């Protein structure tokens, strides 16, 4: 495959989303999304429930194909990759799912170590050590032999996070990392995302409707509304914007241009 493209010149490790559209029957979820994700930054995509945030992440991972437009990772179009290229791409990504999506037939250790055991030839003691290390990063210990069903929601999220970073990915996608957690646990997760960016220089995309979390973790915030990115800016630019839709969203008001129902 030709890996050269104008986008890969000079700016490595980045994701470009160009004019992406996705519909399910007559439900037009994404109607032309344009967004560039810079290397080493955390980009937060804000949007209401059901506006297509999870769909966008699935499109980036190649779990779905866009109807229109393209998603370039390091200049390569995800939708036109074959199975082998897709597998190579996915090994550079980690993904935290909205509901954690831990494999419930496996223990915590097996969940976190699955990628290492399947894709590397590391000896078993080494795998165990790395698993313990990643679990420690997310503030967990001595849970290796538990099944996910025995864990609380916050612990599941943290195990999911440990699994997402187990293979030392270049990119991590977070699907609502703080939703459903108590405020203190939410802040623990926020701190984790920040420290991952700082210590491992991971490029991240987090989708959320949690403004507090967005302000805290984001280098840049993009707002997804009615199938398009209507605003991109730093947290400060978001706080001070007079864009009516963005203002209504960050103020959490039912009055304004966004219909409440």
Partner 1 sequence: MAKARFSYTPENIFTCVGRKTLTFLEDVGGLALLVKDIFLSLPKAFSRFHLTAEQMLVMGVNSLPLVALVSVFTGAVTAVQAVYQIQDFIPMRYLGTAVGKAILIELAPVLTALVVAGRVGAGIAAELGTMKVTEQIDALKTMALDPVEYLVAPRFVAGLVMLPVLTIFSDAIALAGGVGISATALNVPPHVFLNSLKTFFKTMDLMSGLSKAFVFGSIISIIGCYQGFRTKGGAEGVGRSATKAVVMASVLILIADYVVASILFG
Token pair for 96: 């935290």
Counting every residue, how long is the chain? Answer: 261
User: Which does residue 27 touch among Mg ion, ligand ADP, partner 1, none (CB within 5 to 8 A, set by kind)?
Assistant: ligand ADP
Residue 183 is a binding residue for partner 1 (CB under 8 A): no
Residue 88 is a binding residue for ligand ADP (CB under 6 A): no
Among 20, 33, 42, 47, binds ligand ADP (CB under 6 A): 47
Residue 119 is a binding residue for partner 1 (CB under 8 A): yes
User: Which does residue 52 touch among ligand ADP, partner 1, Mg ion, none (CB within 5 to 8 A, set by kind)?
Assistant: ligand ADP
User: Which does residue 171 touch among Mg ion, partner 1, ligand ADP, none (CB within 5 to 8 A, set by kind)?
Assistant: none
Q: Which stretch binds Mg ion (CB under 5 A): 1-9, 18-26, 52-60, 177-185?
A: 52-60
Dist. CA 131–CA 167, nearest whole Å: 10
Nearest approach in angstroms of CB 66 to partner 1 is 17
Nearer of residues 63 and 188 to partner 1, judged by Cβ: 63
Per DSSP, the residues of 101-169 read: ---TTS-HHHHHHHHHHHH----HHHHHHHHHHHHHHTT--S-TT--GGGS-HHHHHHHHHHHHHTT--
Nearest approach in angstroms of CB 105 to partner 1 is 8
Dist. CA 236–CA 246, nearest whole Å: 13
Ramachandran category for residue 227: left, alpha or beta (phi over 0 → left; psi -120 to 50 → alpha): left
Applying CB under 6 A, the residues found at the interface with ligand ADP are 24, 27, 29, 47, 49-55
């Amino acid at each position: 495959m030709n890996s050269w493209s104008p986008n890969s010149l000079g700016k490595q490790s980045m994701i470009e989303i160009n004019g992406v559209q996705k519909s399910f029957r007559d439900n037009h979820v994404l109607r032309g999304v344009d967004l560039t994700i810079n290397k080493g930054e955390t980009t937060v995509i804000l949007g209401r429930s059901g506006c297509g945030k999870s769909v966008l992440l699935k499109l980036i991972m190649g779990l779905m194909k866009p109807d229109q437009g393209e998603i370039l990772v390091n200049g390569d179009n995800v939708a036109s990759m074959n199975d082998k290229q897709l597998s190579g791409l996915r090994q550079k990504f980690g993904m935290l799912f909205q509901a954690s999506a831990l494999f419930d037939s496996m223990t915590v250790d097996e969940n976190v170590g699955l990628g290492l055991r399947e894709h590397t030839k590391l000896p078993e003691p080494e795998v165990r050590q790395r698993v313990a290390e990643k679990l420690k990063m997310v503030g967990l210990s001595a849970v290796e032999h538990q099944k996910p069903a025995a864990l609380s929601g916050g612990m599941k999220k943290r195990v999911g996070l440990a699994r997402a970073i187990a293979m030392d990915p270049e990119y991590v996608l977070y699907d609502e990392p703080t939703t459903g957690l108590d405020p203190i646990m939410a802040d623990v997760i926020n701190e984790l995302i920040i420290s991952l960016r700082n210590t491992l220089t991971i490029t991240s995309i987090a989708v959320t409707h949690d403004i507090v979390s967005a302000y805290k973790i984001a280098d840049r915030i993009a707002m997804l509304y009615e199938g398009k990115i209507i605003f991109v800016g730093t947290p400060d630019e978001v706080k001070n914007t007079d864009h009516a839709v963005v203002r209504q969203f960050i103020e959490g008001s039912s009055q304004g241009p966004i219909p409440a129902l």
